[in-house]
Structure 1
Amino acid sequence: MKPSRFNLVINESDGTLLFNTLSQALLWIDRKNTNKVLKTLEDPSSTELSKTEVEKLKRGMFLLDDNFDELEFLKFRFNTYRYSDRFLRYTIVLTHSCNFDCVYCYQKVLHISSGSYISEKVQSNFLLDVERKLEYQKPNLLSVTFYGGEPLLLEETVVNLSSKLKRLCEKYGVKYDSFIVTNGYLLTEKMVDDLQKAGIKALDITLDGTEVYHDRYRKARNGAPTFSSIFENIFRAVNKGLFVQIRVNVSRENIEDVKKLIDRIAEKKLRVEFNFQPIEIVEGNPTGFQDTALNTEEFAEIETKLWWYIREKIPEYPFEYFKKPRFARCDAMCKNSFVVDVDGRVYKCWGELGMENCSGFLKETGVEFTGSYLKWLTYDPLEDEECRRCLVLPFCMGGCAFNRVVYRTLKSSKVKKPHTCIPLRYNLNEFIKIVADYKRRSAVHGISQRSSGG
């Protein structure tokens, strides 16, 4: 046997946390057993532990057979997921128009036509393509993201398309999973009811703090503040049973205001999920954003501080960061993942919208692919030597592929994104401590393990 290259040891005052990034197994070891476990990891031939305890280390992939190649396993797992027919995922852009004028909006920079709406023909071709794949590929899951601009400007189109997709999934015995990326400003009570009837169960809504910063960053197109209306709409949607993920874009200046947002959510006992992201300003693509964007390492430190704040203010928040391992960091690298633009152009990445170089064209007979499609499907993150040596490789699988595929290989973009590596490269230890704290407060004591993958 041999120790895994993806083991991470975190010493604490009352014991040790042992984590494996390949299996995402977490083991808490009390002080009495710490030396025995660490000695066994250094020398697997050691007899310090019982056979049962050694088996536990093997199940978590902390110990491996001598001929087990972890990079080969990682590549196999990645390619199995990438080329699988089990999942079929679409992001469909309904419009480039938006009722907001966000200061950091990249779509304004790309000069995407704001008057563009999805045509009846593209909708028809989209439904034909979905049904064709449901019939012949027989996936387990159809996932559809409604995107914009602001997709709820076309509420009737969302409801109509989703209802038809839901019926197709019922016809072919496929699970239907759909959500909307929306600013949430137009979300009335009747709209919530209509969306639920159409099979939509989840919303992704952005709040960049409270009125203080959100209304600076995300004003309506007429200049009106938006926070109060959105917060009320989220409260209504959650109470009526919709799942809401709140995306929070973080700058150096709005950190304290984000904490105030967490306070309000805690006070209202809102059951939402948080998704913190750094505000992304691309050099060479100036926007109206005047505050300070964070680099990945800076954001990583702030991100974990915000999660610790949530642990304090919302102790019941189900912090299951390692519960569902992602075998590909981005679905853009997967065979059955497509972004359909309003004009029927097909892309692999949201960030490509508006670019001339696309991966295909949606026709009545299906998607007519270009060579760009193959570039996405043959990009191999394990060819990067720095990535191969990185402890968080099983999580990120090369990080954001935009820079590597769109900027470097396809040369479709003249500028590259500021973040390739994910924040976990810099804050993994803190995330593990947060998860362990959640587990301990949930009455998990002693030497215990939870393996999420592998």
Structure 2
Amino acid sequence: MFTKYFEKLKIKEANYLYNLKTGHLLFLDSDSDEKVSKIINDENIKLCFKDKFILKRYGFLVSKDTPIYSKNNKAVITIGVTKKCNCNCEYCFERERRDETSAYNTKYNFHYLLLKYILFISRKIDSLEIIWYGGEPSISIDEVVFISNEVSEICKKNNKCFEKSMITNGLLLNSVNISKIKTTKISRFQITLDGPEKYHNSIKSSATILNFYRTVIENIKLLVKHNYKVTININVDKNNKGMIKELLDDLVINELIHNKFVNIRFSRIVGTPYEIEKIEFEEICLNYDNYLIEIGYKNFELRSPSFEGYCQLDYNNFSITVDNQGNLYTCIEEVFDETKSKENLEHLDWGKFIEDKMNYNSSSNVNLIGKCTACKYLPFCRGMCPLMRNQENECIELVQKQIYREVSRYIGARYEKDII
């Protein structure tokens, strides 16, 4: 039978077949396109050996078409290491939670509780990822180094893979701090830019840095020089949507667009009067993607499909989001809003907490509503944000836009055709 997990796409007058379940992409010439259309409508159509082999190989012809729910044995721990931040972006959802006093009230107790948790789960997981978050995590770089090195030892002793990344504004990632984090082996940094130099500096400012943008650009160049992977996260709203090409041109001048260690992505600013609607955002970003291809950017990838869910709310594993007081949250956007925290590592009923983690929705691993489990787009969108899942009315149109955008930019930048 022909899988339901597919999307036929017409991109620049060429036809493609995209497997939503496996991530495979096939170019269809006119004969192949006609064959595939017939097979989709009539599974009794006879195929030659070559066509049948290719369609089976790429997961388009299947004996069963059921979702694949595999146990997720990777734990992701997001750590809000400090409330402090060295800028005051007007769109930041943490603005009202800022604390200019000491970053730690119970520092060593928090270290003990966090390491105790990681030590315990290290016997039950296959791999661990820590995401350093804030506030601005680089303000507490010494804490990042200490905890990272301690966790590295735990994972080494228990033979577990360990990844580390940081979400940061990049201002403090200078040569001194890069030398400090060298021992931690943090491999990836996500750094946000709000537009070209003048606009970025109007959104982000510092009492000690004259040119925020230029400092961050120089720090990114320093990071990639040391072979760190950097995702440049470009925020987009109604105010700056017409300025993005200017920013991309400056990244070319600074030799970052063609750097193999740099990935570019666009993010929609939400919660402000200047927010762009989701579908319009995808259309705008498609134009940015095309411009990136035009100026020689090639680091586009197709996402890896999965039925395992969108985030830790869906995962049947030991992932947690925690702040530096030990408060646990269900979402990264709730960090430091203590009214949203229902548990704390210090007062945790460890036995019940671990049992709940192990038993949570173990039949499917994901907490999806009915319309998601039956939808062919599930492995691509992963059900979208669990907190918004019941509110999404335009999700099908949105996901179709996302698929078209991701496939078209991948084809434009680097795709080698598999022809059937």
Q: TM-score range by the shorter chain?
A: 0.7 to 0.9
1:20 match: 19
Secondary structure in 2 matching 1:363: helix
Structure 2: stretches of 5+ with no match in the other structure: none
Secondary structure in 1 matching 2:89: coil
Report the CA distance between 1:214 and its aligned residue: 1.3
> Pick from 238, 245, 269: which aligns with 1:252?
238
Report the CA distance between 1:391 and its aligned residue: 4.3
The equivalences for 1:18-167 within 5 A come to 18-47=17-46, 49-65=47-63, 68-70=64-66, 73=67, 76-77=68-69, 80-81=70-71, 84=72, 86-109=73-96, 111=97, 113-115=99-101, 117-118=103-104, 119-134=107-122, 136-137=123-124, 139-167=125-153
> Pick from 402, 406, 414: which aligns with 1:431?
406
The answer to whether the Cα contact below 8 Å between 1:140 and 1:175 also exists between their aligned partners in 2 is yes
Secondary structure in 1 matching 2:242: helix
CA 1:58–1:50 in 2, change beyond 3 Å: closer, same or farther? same
> What amino acid sits opposite 1:430 in the alignment?
R
Aligned counterparts of 2:98 and 2:404: Cα–Cα separation in 1 = 41
Q: Does 1:362 align with 2:345?
A: yes
State the Cα RMSD in Å.
3.0
Deviations 1:223-248 (A, max 9, x none): 95511111111111111111111111
The answer to whether the Cα contact below 8 Å between 1:333 and 1:348 also exists between their aligned partners in 2 is no
Secondary structure in 2 matching 1:356: helix
Aligned counterparts of 2:352 and 2:109: Cα–Cα separation in 1 = 19
CA 1:50–1:114 in 2, change beyond 3 Å: closer, same or farther? farther
Report the CA distance between 1:273 and its aligned residue: 0.9
CA 1:33–1:422 in 2, change beyond 3 Å: closer, same or farther? closer
Secondary structure in 1 matching 2:385: coil
> Pick from 164, 168, 186: which aligns with 1:182?
168
Report the CA distance between 1:16 and its aligned residue: 1.8
Aligned counterparts of 1:420 and 1:17: Cα–Cα separation in 2 = 22
Identity %: 24
Aligned counterparts of 1:229 and 1:22: Cα–Cα separation in 2 = 42
Report the CA distance between 1:213 and its aligned residue: 2.0
2:188 match: 202
Q: Does 1:447 align with 2:399?
A: no
> What amino acid sits opposite 1:18 in the alignment?
L
Aligned counterparts of 1:296 and 1:259: Cα–Cα separation in 2 = 20
> What amino acid sits opposite 1:122 in the alignment?
F
1:278 match: 268
Aligned counterparts of 1:224 and 1:369: Cα–Cα separation in 2 = 51
Secondary structure in 1 matching 2:313: helix
The answer to whether the Cα contact below 8 Å between 1:166 and 1:176 also exists between their aligned partners in 2 is yes
Aligned counterparts of 2:393 and 2:173: Cα–Cα separation in 1 = 33
The answer to whether the Cα contact below 8 Å between 2:238 and 2:276 also exists between their aligned partners in 1 is yes
Report the CA distance between 1:209 and its aligned residue: 1.4
Report the CA distance between 1:263 and its aligned residue: 1.6
**When the two structures are aligned, how many residues end up with a matched partner?**
407
Structure 1: stretches of 5+ with no match in the other structure: 282-288, 409-415, 449-454
> Pick from 379, 385, 389: which aligns with 1:400?
385
> What amino acid sits opposite 1:305 in the alignment?
N
Secondary structure in 2 matching 1:255: coil
Aligned counterparts of 2:167 and 2:140: Cα–Cα separation in 1 = 13
Aligned counterparts of 2:397 and 2:94: Cα–Cα separation in 1 = 23
Aligned counterparts of 1:90 and 1:299: Cα–Cα separation in 2 = 30
Report the CA distance between 1:56 and its aligned residue: 1.8
The answer to whether the Cα contact below 8 Å between 2:98 and 2:135 also exists between their aligned partners in 1 is no
The answer to whether the Cα contact below 8 Å between 2:309 and 2:367 also exists between their aligned partners in 1 is no
Report the CA distance between 1:147 and its aligned residue: 0.9
**TM-score w.r.t. length of structure 2:** 0.87
